[in-house]
Amino acid sequence: MDELQKKIIYLIQCQRSIDDICKELQLSKEELFSLLRKISDSGISLNVLNGGILTFKSVETIKKPYNIKMGKGHIRLGLIGDTHLASKYDDLDLLNRIYDKAEKRKIDAIFHSGDLVDGIVSVPNYFENLKEETYTGQMKYVIDKYPKYSGKTFAISGNHDDYWTHLTGKEIIKDISKERKDIVYLGPSKRIIYIDGLKINVLHGRFKQEGKVKSVKTLIDIIPEEIRPHFIHLGHYHTSLADTYEGVQFFRTSSLVRESPYNMNRMHINEQSIYWIDVYFDDDGKVDKITHEKDTFSKRR
């Protein structure tokens, strides 16, 4: 993909009209549509809306609760997120250390709260932050380099993964999971998981309603009491948090990338940490106790 096509993709993400794109890049409409055909031939699907606004096609998914059977009185889980793989600032060494720890701790399953890959963000010059700048490149990067262990990693998508869905109509973690059977794709943005008698909500953590940011506590308030999860796992904000509200525990996992100029310019505090969760069941298979331990690897001073 050449630089001109990258600029077109960026301007489409900014919801510029066909006329605006032609004017900004000094192209005729014939030249623009010729380039759009090349972009489409690369696997990126496009729509044209009324008013000449270009958008990327997306896919629709229907998500039911995901069931996992373990049949154990004590299960051990790992909570991670925001690995941003294929960024120049990803931290594969740290990720491998975490999975080595998971093996030693006999962790039964790891949950990933999204932003598995870095995608392509709609800001100028973002390609400079990437080791791999194509869908296939980022997919193969994860397939080849993501750590393996004796359990499975269950992942939802985050906004960075979803950039590829908007661009291509495909879900990158879903395609990764076809080649890596130890990585299970739970769907975009959020999913309910049942592990025997345990209820978990995993979501990326973007709360917006009518333009206002909501909190996880607001989310808990609108969940009927009889179906509230035992705990919620979220990410997105690159900072960690463990708290309890209305009997529901929630854990926000931080990013596992190294500091990047992009995040530092946005004043993002990047704490590299995860949570280890222990769940104990009573003789009737009901959740008796949930404990957690935060494991911190580095923090910007």
List the pLDDT tens digit at each of the 301 positions of the chain: 677 887 887 787 777 888 888 998 999 988 888 888 787 776 666 766 655 666 665 544 446 889 999 999 999 999 999 999 999 999 999 999 999 999 999 999 999 999 999 998 767 778 888 999 899 999 999 999 999 999 999 999 999 999 898 888 889 999 999 999 999 999 988 899 999 999 999 999 865 444 444 578 877 877 777 778 999 999 998 889 999 999 999 999 999 998 766 666 665 667 799 999 999 999 999 999 999 999 998 754 3
For the chain, give the number of residues: 301
- Domain extent, residue 52, equals 3-56
| Residues 75 and 27 reside in one and the same domain | no
- Inside any domain, residue 112: yes
State the Cα–Cα distance between residues 46 and 55, nearest whole angstrom. 6
| Residues 17 and 88 reside in one and the same domain | no
Number of domains in the chain: 2
- Inside any domain, residue 262: yes
State the Cα–Cα distance between residues 24 and 175, nearest whole angstrom. 35
Residue 230 near residue 199 (C-beta atoms within 8 A): yes
Complete DSSP assignment for 73-116: SEEEEEEE----BTBTT--HHHHHHHHHHHHHTT-SEEEE-S--
CATH number at residue 161: 3.60.21.10
CATH number at residue 31: 1.10.10
Residue 202 near residue 233 (C-beta atoms within 8 A): yes
Backbone φ and ψ of 286, nearest 5°: -90, 150
Query: Which tokens in the block code for residue 12?
Result: 């489409």
| Residues 97 and 152 reside in one and the same domain | yes
pTM of the model: 0.79
| Residues 172 and 274 reside in one and the same domain | yes
Backbone Cα Rg of the chain = 21
Residue 47 near residue 55 (C-beta atoms within 8 A): yes
